[in-house]
Amino acid sequence: MTKLLKDFGTLLKQNIKGLFVFIGFIIIILVVLYSFASYETTNSEFCDSCHYMDPYVRHWQASKHSGVDCVACHEYSGGDLILSSIKYATETYNTRPQARVMNENCLAADCHDEESLDKGLKYKENIFFQHSTHLNKVLRSGKLHCTSCHNQMSQQDDESLTHMKVNEQTCFVCHFKDAGEGEAITGCYSCHGNPKTAVEHDGFMFNHEPYLELGVECKQCHIKIVQGDASVPEGKCYSCHVERFRK
């Protein structure tokens, strides 16, 4: 054993220069391969190379973010993407990938500015919304992030689904979970405000203000508020305006 070690030491001394050259060459090859792989995997077209990513890519291409590279939002290093490629090749991948998007990436330069978070906006015509109210406070579901609501991503080929669209189910979980029928955790006014305009209902005009002054609560008429468009069933009008006078 001692003689074997001596012979190996002698051989190493005689070829030490060539050994260093060989190791250096291998390191250069690995660096070049890693750099090439990192560059290729950060290209958005690379994300479409895995078959289970097809629907996600199609939704992204049809969205307002189609001009933004995937890695500009999703935090994946070159090493992470190379590892994902290895998992795909060895069939050890997850068909439901969890793609991280940090708030800082959404609020980066040339994207969404922080000043717009304080501006009120309307969602679906009758819902008043302000981002800062939801992002700057710890709410019942904890600290919210941009992707807490903007998480509409699916593997289904549904044209109604758009990449990063607001998922209404998130609204329902926060505002209606554990609430009574026709009730909202934060109250109706926090989202809809005080209705001031007359609306048409079954062929006649309806004004909310006189009923609000009488103390009529929203839930007395709007019962199924998480189903359909929360419209008032005809029976509710009948029970007050007809049944009441029969008694």
Task: Please give the C-alpha separations between residue 210 and each of 17, 74, 195, 197, 213, in angstroms, as whole numbers.
Answer: 95, 51, 11, 12, 5
Q: What is the pLDDT of residue 3?
A: 65
**Rounded distance between C-alpha atoms, residue 148 and residue 97, angstroms:** 16
Q: Which of the residue ranges 107-111, 140-144, 175-179, 197-201 would you say has the lowest mean pLDDT? A: 140-144
Per cent of the chain over pLDDT 70 is 81
The amino acid at residue 103 is N
Q: What is the pLDDT of residue 153?
A: 64
Q: What is the pLDDT of residue 1?
A: 59
> Beta strands of 148-187 (E only): which ranges?
150-152, 165-166
Q: What is the pLDDT of residue 94?
A: 76
Tell me what the mean pLDDT of segment 13-28 comes to: 74
Tell me what the mean pLDDT of segment 1-28 comes to: 69
Tell me what the mean pLDDT of segment 81-88 comes to: 76
Q: Tell me the three state secondary structure of residue 221.
A: coil
Q: What is the pLDDT of residue 21?
A: 72
Q: Confirm whether pTM is higher than 0.85.
A: no
Per cent of the chain over pLDDT 90 is 0
47-66: pLDDT as tens digits: 777 777 788 888 888 888 88
Q: What is the pLDDT of residue 157?
A: 54
Token duo for residue 28:
């250069």
Collect all residues with Cβ–Cβ distance below 8 Å to 105 and sequence separation of at least 6: 72, 73, 75, 111
Q: Tell me the three state secondary structure of residue 208.
A: coil
Domain positions in the chain are 18-106, 194-247
